Each structure stands twice: as C-alpha cells, then as structure tokens.
Chain A
Amino acid sequence: MTSAAAVVTATARHAWHPCPISILSGISRFSWRHPRSSPASASTSALPRPKALSTSTTSIPTTPLRHIAIVGAGPAGLYTATALRKKLPDAHIDLFEAHATPYGLVRYGVAPDHPEVANVTHQFDALVSNDPHIRVMTSCPVYGEMPAGGPAGRAGLPLDRLQQHYDATVLAYGGAGADRALGVPGEDGVPSRILSARAFVNWYNGRPRDVEIAPPALDCTSVVIVGHGNVALDAARILLKAPSSLAATDMPSSRVAYLAEHSRVRHVHLVGRRGPWQTAFTTPSLRELLTLMKNDGIAFRTNPERFWFWDKARTPAETASRANQRRVDLLRKAVDASVTTLKPGCSVPEKEPDRTCTFHFGLAPRAFTFSKQADSDVPIQAVFDHQEPRPVHADPSDPASPVIRINVGTRDVVGSPPPSPDGLTVGTTTLPCGLVLKAVGYRAQPLPFTPSNPTRAPFIFDTRRSRVPNAGDGQVVRSADDPTPVPGLYVVGWLKHGPVGTIASTWRDALQTASTILAAHDPAAKAAPSTGSPAKGGWPALEADVAQTNPALHAQWRPWTAWKRIEAAELARGATQQPAKPREKLLSEAAMHRVADGGLPHDADFV
C-alpha cells in the first residue's frame, strides 16, 4: 500500500476514534437466524458511519475487509474473531495457531482448580464449529520471516504471506512467551530448583515441551515464591493443596501422582518487593487462598510490624480504588487474626503448625546461593534486602502534601543497606528453602525469526515494554518511537497492552481492536481503489501459495476437526479415570498429531 493510502487510513482511524463504541453498539441487536440465511440481516449489518464522516469524503475508509487473518487462537484471537463476526457476517476469518491445540492460556495457563474460567471455551468452540466462515489452522506457527535455508525444526508461515493474502492481519499470539528475570546472582544456577513460575504452571498444566526438562524439585519442605501476583498465588495453592483434591480436575493424572508421591512441601513463602497496596493479585485469588488455608489448617504468617509499616505506604490513587481497598482489608483481617493467635502472654506454648503460608512484604531479592550438601533439606539460601518505602510528595518541600508515588529505593548490593529513618528493621532476610519460583511477570516476545534488519520488518518490536508497538487502539505502528500506522496490521490482548489482565479485560480489549479494524476498512469494498491493488485472495490464495512454496507447512498444519479428535480422545480418557476427570490431556505434540490424524492414543501419551 502506498503512503498516500496509509495516510487516508490513519486519518479515518483518528476521525473515528472519539466514538469507537458507536461502531460496535450501532448494530447491537441481530436476528438470531443464521446471518447468511437472511439477505436482510446482511444488509443491515453494513458498517454504520458516523455522520461527521460524511462531510469528508477523503476520510471514508476504502480498503476492503473480506479476509481477516488472526495469529493465535487463544482468548484474544477468538474474542476478536467473535466481535468481527458479529459485524461482518460475510467475511472470512482464519486463525493460525502454533500449537496443536487452541485456547492458549485458557488451556495451559488457567489453574486446573479453576474450571469455571475455562467455560469460555464453550462459546469459542460453538463459534468455530458452527461457522464455515471461521477457520482455525493448528500446528501453524507464524514466523517473522522465512529463515534462510528453511527452519531447522517446524515449518512456519512468514507474516508477510498473511499480509499479502489478507485484508487485515491481527497479531494475537499472546504475551506469555517468556519471563521477566530478577536480575540477581544465582537465579539461573540450578534449573530444577530455581525456575520461573511459568515453567511450573506449564508443568502442572501438562503443556508439551520441545525439550524435556526435569519436573520441579519438590523434595523439600520450604518453597520461596518471588512475586505477589495471581500466578504466585496459583502456584502456592497448587503446592499447598492436598493432591487428592486435584484428582478430579484436568491436571494430568501423572502430575497429580507426582505431587502426591514426591511433594514434601509444607511451608510456602510469598515474597513481594513492596507492600499490601502494591500487590498485584486480585481479591478473588487472595480470598481463595485464605479460604483454603482456613479449611486445611494452613497457618497464615507475616511479620506484622513490616505489614503495618508498609500498609501506610500508599498513594491516594491506590486507596481510591475499591478493588485495592477490599484486597488490603482482606489482608489486614488475615494479619489481625494471625497476630491474635500469637499474642504474647499466652501461657499455652504455641505449637508449630504443620503447614504455613507466609506473606513477606518489602523484600527485594539480592542473591540465591546453593549448597551442594546432598542431604540438605534447604540447599538454597534466598537472600532478600529489606526495602523501605519512601513517600514522594506532590510538593517535595512539604511533607504534608499528598503522596503521589512510593519509591522503594535502589537496592544496594555491594554496600550496606540504607539506614532506616524510623529504626525499623534494615538489612537482609535469608529464607532457606529447596525450591524458588520466580513469579514476577511474563514477557511478550517477537515472532520467531523476526528479521534483525528493521527495514525488512513491518514494525519493530518494543523490547523495552515487551509488546507490539501500537497506537493504543490496536493499530500497529512502525515502532515505539515512530507512530506511523502499519496498514492492515493490528494487535490484540496481552501482546498489545502487556501481560496483565483477566479474561474480562482481554474480552474488552478484543472489542476495541475489532472496532479499530472496522473503522479502518470498508467491508463492502471489493478492492482498494486508491492503490489499484487487486482484491486479496484470502484462504484459497494462501493455501495455494503454501502448497506450492512451503510443502512442509502444508503437510504440518491441521484444521479444526483435528483438534476435535484430540479433544474427543482427551474427554474419553478423562471419563474413564477414577475419579472421573473433565479431560485427561495428551502430553506430547507427537501424540496429538497422531490422534489428530485418526490414530489411537496410547497409555504412554498421558504420562
């Protein structure tokens, strides 16, 4: 597309921007008959145009929108397909999924004891299974470009092929491709004992791996989890729960058995750099963990002085949020209850509880050291620096002015910790343990084989913020520093705004990106007259292209029916288990491919 066309597109987008909701809500009510069975419904589904645009003919989008490609069949991609389908009953929407299975983190991220969250797959399944105009190709990774000499392993589809054959391409491959690192000595020392929570989540959710790695070392009583987010709480819950309570979930039976046979974990430490107001977990997750602890007799532990000290370190914005208030209130209640049980002067000597979960506040990781004593229960010494909250006032010269931000000071690795102005504990805390899980956030990554030469890439991945650079509304731009839109390329979900948020926020985000796409294209157009370029061919053209130029991929990718065979095998296997499971996941890609092609699953495929 020429730059002139790009300007038109950009103008249209901005002109429409103030009222994106009108695009989605304009036709909020449909006939419930099949869209293509009724010519009337198709005509009423034409994109309504805001009146303001009719005065400016130059800003009416003219690029067609008949063929849409979506990279990734997780919740972001499938919700975008849902939203686009509602407005475009005649468009063809094709999703390309790297794995053999769809649903992304709903299958491999959501904890197995949260089956309600996975209910969202029902509507996605209905969408794809019932609509011949929506196609999902699995085992089809999309690459930044075709690697020179072809990829050594799996075949993939270069992004420019999608752009060539589709009117719009949406990047929805997720933001959980990698982890944020702690950046402290020793964190990469012992892979089976210091690992990312993402690796642990992948393990307990049975995600197939390219390279087999050893299961996490659970032969210890104490585990340190670094991070105060929902992933940290998920990991704590899985470690503290009785394995028998996970038997009837979709956690693979072999993982449940491993936990039952090998886990000696009794004490979990949840360590956060800051205080209760800055915790990133949500109230439902916290309440669930506290309820589990209450029911299972797991003691809540914290250092109450540090908790109350950090409780005061809050900004007006943090206290204004109802969610923050309720979450901190819940923590305060738990702290109060734990303090009461430890009241000094109580004549009965306190019995050390069998199992504990300790919340640590204001501790920043400093180093991990590993002792090679084979029989030690606590081979790892996790050392943390005490952090002191420092309020930054709106008016720095006036301590009474509102606090706008909390600084935690810089970690002083070599020197002594900064002196504490109020005499509270300074220094370090060492937590001896046998396993460290790092749960400080996910990190999105560029597509595999993204060209290193930026002139060959349609956009430059924003490595600093770990996202695809975009205008905030889903329109991909050239780079974080260059707001020139890349015509026809969009981004949605964690890849767009960072790896934070629930299904609900991904749903809303998908609606937003869908409205951006609809605003920039004219679904009625057959071709782009401004450029004279021919109409895009969509799936038939792509398939012919791949069959000719990329036979390895053509042999590798699979349609939705392949996934349905995998699913049927998993459901059947799950029903035969004692107790019955909602599904028993196939645990290797090879087994999935065999079953997808009509083969029978073997017992070994589930171990």
Chain B
Amino acid sequence: MRRAAGAAVRVAERRAAAPRRTAALLPRTGAWRPRPAAVPWRSFSATPAAAHGNLHQCKPGEEITIHFVMPSGETIAVDGAPGDNLLELAHANDIDLEGACEGSIACSTCHVILEPEVFDALEEPTDEENDMLDLAFGLTETSRLGCQINLTPDLQGMKVRIPSATRNVQSEKMQNT
C-alpha cells in the first residue's frame, strides 16, 4: 500500500467522503444511548466514530494537516479543523487509535507520542491526564493522550506517532496497571 507518497491523494479522497461520515455522527451526550439498529456503513476502527462527537467545520484553507505515524512506520496525513482533538480526528479518518473511554480521561488507550518541540509548546498535561499516562504502555517523555490534544493552527503539519500496542506484552510487569 502506498502511504506517505500518496498522502495528498488520500486526503482528497477523504474530503470527498467526509460528508457521508459526518452525516452519521451523533451529538455527543454524557449518557449512554442506544445506537441506531441499522448503520449504513461500518467503521473499522474499534470505536465507532459516532461515539466521538462532531468534528468541527472550518473554512477552506484553514485545515490543519496532521501526519499520523502508524506502528508499522507508515505515515497517514489527514486534515482536521481547529478544535478537533486527535482521537476524534483519527476515528473520523479510520485511523486505528483505540479510545475505550471515548475521551473522558478514564483509560490510556489513546496514548500517542509527539515530537519534543510540539510537546514543549503545548500546555502541560493535567494531573488527571498524567495519572492515566502513568498506566500507558511504552510511556515516553513526550507522550500524551490523543483525546486531550486539540488542534490549533500552531500544530499545522505535526507528526503524531501511535505506539505499538502489542510489543513485549508478556515481558511487561503487569503490576500497577
């Protein structure tokens, strides 16, 4: 599969497909609500995009391009709008980033690794986010929870690495998880 080379093409494809996705998005609610019995499409991400709220709309030219670096090394470029968070953006674009608690800082599954300069430029993570990062596998100095990174124009072109979730599972000490 061609990835990094064809990024621009795929972004264009995604834009073309975007209205269909957003039409299926449900408004975000705190309470559980039953899903529609029949959904006309099926997402391959583990968490349905519908559970992650609306992506923001923005004017043409204001898109912020984010490069997701997958565990396999391939890079996928996607466009978001100011205000989107990385978890929502990943799910809307079918990028395999788990989000078990749907962005409520109650799990560490949307752990991503940022570039040092981007990490330093962002506000410090809250205590609650750091508590959850403690439980993330493969924690690095520049780790964050994807659901807590909101897109701003400053983040234009940033790289977001999604760490491998399965490497060395059995050698990891399971305590404190």
Interface residues of A in 122-167 (CB under 8 A from B): 122-123, 125-126, 129-131
Q: What separation, in Å, do the CA atoms of A131 and B38 have in the docked complex?
A: 10
| Nearest chain B CB to A22 CB, angstrom units | 7
| Nearest chain B CB to A110 CB, angstrom units | 9
Determine the chain A residues whose CB is within 8 A of the CB of B164 once the complex forms: 21, 25
| B151: interface (CB < 8 Å) | no
Determine the chain B residues whose CB is within 8 A of the CB of A479 once the complex forms: none
B131 contacts which of A79, A118, A284 (Cβ < 8 Å)? A284
Interface residues of B in 108-123 (CB under 8 A from A): 108-109
B interface majority secondary structure: loop
Q: Are B169 and A508 in contact (CB under 8 A)?
A: yes
| Nearest chain A CB to B16 CB, angstrom units | 13
Q: Are A504 and B134 in contact (CB under 8 A)?
A: no
A126-B139 contact in complex given A119-B106, A505-B177, A508-B165, C-beta closer than 8 Å:
no
- Pick the interface stretch among B43-51, B57-65, B81-89, B152-160: B43-51
Residue of B nearest to A126 (CB): B48
Q: Are B108 and A504 in contact (CB under 8 A)?
A: yes
| Nearest chain B CB to A31 CB, angstrom units | 8
Q: What separation, in Å, do the CA atoms of A561 and B97 have in the docked complex?
A: 29
Q: Scoring A residues 502 to 521 as 1 if CB is less than 8 Å from chain B, else 0, what string do you get?
A: 11110111011001000000
| A427: interface (CB < 8 Å) | no
| A202: interface (CB < 8 Å) | no
A508-B166 contact in complex given A25-B71, A282-B134, A326-B130, C-beta closer than 8 Å:
yes
Q: What separation, in Å, do the CA atoms of A502 and B76 have in the docked complex?
A: 29
Q: What separation, in Å, do the CA atoms of A571 and B130 have in the docked complex?
A: 34
Q: How many residues of B contact A (CB 8 A)?
A: 58
Q: Are A122 and B35 in contact (CB under 8 A)?
A: yes
Q: Are A116 and B32 in contact (CB under 8 A)?
A: no
Determine the chain A residues whose CB is within 8 A of the CB of B106 once the complex forms: 114, 116-117, 119, 284
| A591: interface (CB < 8 Å) | no
A503 contacts which of B37, B107, B134 (Cβ < 8 Å)? B107
Q: Are A507 and B165 in contact (CB under 8 A)?
A: yes
| A35: interface (CB < 8 Å) | yes
| A24: interface (CB < 8 Å) | yes
- Pick the interface stretch among A210-218, A316-324, A341-349, A545-553: A316-324
Q: What separation, in Å, do the CA atoms of A116 and B106 have in the docked complex?
A: 6
Q: Are B43 and A32 in contact (CB under 8 A)?
A: yes
Q: What separation, in Å, do the CA atoms of A30 and B70 have in the docked complex?
A: 13
| B124: interface (CB < 8 Å) | no
A24 contacts which of B34, B51, B166 (Cβ < 8 Å)? B166
Q: What separation, in Å, do the CA atoms of A79 and B177 have in the docked complex?
A: 18
Residue of A nearest to B48 (CB): A126
Q: Are B44 and A284 in contact (CB under 8 A)?
A: no
Determine the chain A residues whose CB is within 8 A of the CB of B170 once the complex forms: 472-473, 497, 512
A284-B128 contact in complex given A29-B96, A122-B48, C-beta closer than 8 Å:
yes
Interface residues of A in 78-122 (CB under 8 A from B): 79, 82, 86, 114, 116-122
Q: What separation, in Å, do the CA atoms of A86 and B39 have in the docked complex?
A: 18
- The bracket for how many chain A residues form the interface is 35 or more
Residue of B nearest to A117 (CB): B106
| B23: interface (CB < 8 Å) | no
Determine the chain B residues whose CB is within 8 A of the CB of A86 once the complex forms: 44, 46, 96
| A294: interface (CB < 8 Å) | no
A29-B100 contact in complex given A122-B32, A122-B35, A123-B46, C-beta closer than 8 Å:
no
| A583: interface (CB < 8 Å) | yes
A283-B47 contact in complex given A32-B42, A130-B39, A507-B98, C-beta closer than 8 Å:
no
Q: Are A119 and B177 in contact (CB under 8 A)?
A: no
A117-B46 contact in complex given A32-B41, A323-B134, A502-B177, C-beta closer than 8 Å:
no
Determine the chain A residues whose CB is within 8 A of the CB of B142 once the complex forms: none
Determine the chain B residues whose CB is within 8 A of the CB of A119 once the complex forms: 51, 100-102, 104, 106
Q: Scoring A residues 570 to 602 as 1 if CB is less than 8 Å from chain B, else 0, what string do you get?
A: 010000000000110000000000000000000
Determine the chain A residues whose CB is within 8 A of the CB of B169 once the complex forms: 473, 508-509, 512
| A33: interface (CB < 8 Å) | yes
| Nearest chain A CB to B147 CB, angstrom units | 11
A129-B109 contact in complex given A500-B174, A507-B98, A515-B166, C-beta closer than 8 Å:
no
Determine the chain B residues whose CB is within 8 A of the CB of A507 once the complex forms: 98, 100, 109, 165
B107 contacts which of A34, A324, A473, A502 (Cβ < 8 Å)? A502
A324-B176 contact in complex given A122-B48, A130-B42, C-beta closer than 8 Å:
yes
Residue of B nearest to A508 (CB): B165
Q: What separation, in Å, do the CA atoms of A324 and B38 have in the docked complex?
A: 46
Q: What separation, in Å, do the CA atoms of A282 and B135 have in the docked complex?
A: 8
Determine the chain A residues whose CB is within 8 A of the CB of B107 once the complex forms: 117, 120, 502-504
Determine the chain A residues whose CB is within 8 A of the CB of B95 once the complex forms: 29
| Nearest chain A CB to B38 CB, angstrom units | 8
| A567: interface (CB < 8 Å) | yes
Determine the chain B residues whose CB is within 8 A of the CB of A22 once the complex forms: 72
| Nearest chain A CB to B2 CB, angstrom units | 11
Q: What separation, in Å, do the CA atoms of A502 and B164 have in the docked complex?
A: 18
Determine the chain B residues whose CB is within 8 A of the CB of A498 once the complex forms: 174
Q: What separation, in Å, do the CA atoms of A322 and B136 have in the docked complex?
A: 11
Q: What separation, in Å, do the CA atoms of A29 and B78 have in the docked complex?
A: 13
Q: Are A287 and B128 in contact (CB under 8 A)?
A: yes
Q: Are A116 and B101 in contact (CB under 8 A)?
A: yes
A283-B32 contact in complex given A25-B70, A122-B47, A507-B165, C-beta closer than 8 Å:
no
Contacts A/B (CB < 8 Å), 16 sampled: A21-B164, A25-B71, A29-B74, A30-B94, A32-B41, A32-B42, A34-B42, A119-B102, A119-B104, A119-B106, A282-B176, A284-B128, A284-B132, A322-B134, A505-B137, A564-B34
Residues of A within 8 A of B (CB): 20-22, 24-26, 28-35, 44, 79, 82, 86, 114, 116-123, 125-126, 129-131, 280, 282-284, 287, 321-324, 326-327, 472-473, 497-498, 500-505, 507-509, 511-512, 515, 564, 567-568, 571, 582-583
Closest 3 CB pairs of A and B: A323-B134, A116-B104, A116-B106
Can you name 9 extra interface pairs (CB under 8 A) apart from A126-B39, A280-B175? Answer: A29-B95, A31-B44, A32-B94, A44-B1, A287-B128, A497-B170, A505-B135, A507-B165, A512-B169
